[in-house]
Amino acid sequence: MIRSTITSRSLNPLKYLGHNLGKPSFNQPIMKSVRWHGGPKVSSDAPTVPITFINPHPSERTNTSEEEIPKLTVEAKIGETLLQTAQRNHIDLEGACEGVCACSTCHLIIDDDLFDTLSEPSEDEEDMLDMAFGLTMTSRLGCQVKVSEEFRDTVIKVPEMTRNFYVDGHVPQGH
Ligand code: FES
């Protein structure tokens, strides 16, 4: 855990500087995002916001130039996780642990401005992010980030590579 925390902070020193470095006071709540197990149940008629996923099917790409990278705009339900949004719309994003923050296969790269509005990742999420291929300063796990109004017209990138725990050709399905 110490190794992973240091790694995450070194990737994004401004974001993590001072984060949990001192001993927490009992009078001082620690602001951490909630860990979602399997994803929240969201009503089928929940309000939606448009989100564009870049590179939605990375496993099908072959030497595509930057301009040719595919994009897909979908309606994301407010309250669901980005992993749920992606899988509901058949975007090639795996969730090997089914959204319990125990893998890094739902790794996504968040738009800079949107990233700054999100709550801090939990220590569990930081640990799993350390295992993600192509980690960036604005990486998050799709199963740990819930869609809100702030996501309207934002862009989410699906990394070209993911740490895929499946070895049998399993195709990810929504939970
Ligand atoms: Fe495993 Fe998100 S699905 S960490």
pLDDT at residue 38 in the model: 67
- Residues 31 and 56 occupy one common structural domain: no
The Cα 151–Cα 134 span in angstroms is 23
pLDDT tens for 23-76 read 434 444 444 444 445 688 999 899 999 999 999 888 777 767 777 889 999 999
Q: Please state the atom number of ligand 1 nearest to the C-alpha of residue 141.
A: 2
pTM over cut 0.85: no
- Residues 130 and 86 occupy one common structural domain: yes
Place of tokens 């009078």: 27
How many residues are present in the chain?
A: 175
- Residues 10 and 56 occupy one common structural domain: no
- Residues 32 and 64 occupy one common structural domain: no
- Residues 14 and 72 occupy one common structural domain: no
Q: Does residue 162 surpass a pLDDT of 90?
A: no
- Residues 67 and 151 occupy one common structural domain: yes
Domain-embedded: residue 114: yes
Which of helix, strand or coil describes residue 75?
strand
- Residues 57 and 118 occupy one common structural domain: yes
Which one of 4, 81, 91, 101 would you pick to mutate in the ligand 1 pocket, going by the greatest count of ligand atoms within 8 A of its CB? 101
Structure tokens at 175: 């939970």
Q: Please state the atom number of ligand 1 nearest to the C-alpha of residue 98.
A: 3
Is 172:87 a contact under the CB 8 Å cutoff? yes
- Residues 14 and 62 occupy one common structural domain: no
- Residues 104 and 52 occupy one common structural domain: yes
- Residues 87 and 12 occupy one common structural domain: no
pLDDT tens for 127-149 read 999 999 899 999 999 999 999 99
Helix or strand (DSSP H, E) at 120: none
Q: Please state the atom number of ligand 1 nearest to the C-alpha of residue 128.
A: 4
Domain of residue 22 covers: 3-36
Task: Give, in order, the Cα–Cα distances in Å from 54 to each of 11, 63, 146.
Answer: 23, 15, 18
**Average of per-residue pLDDT values in the chain:** 78
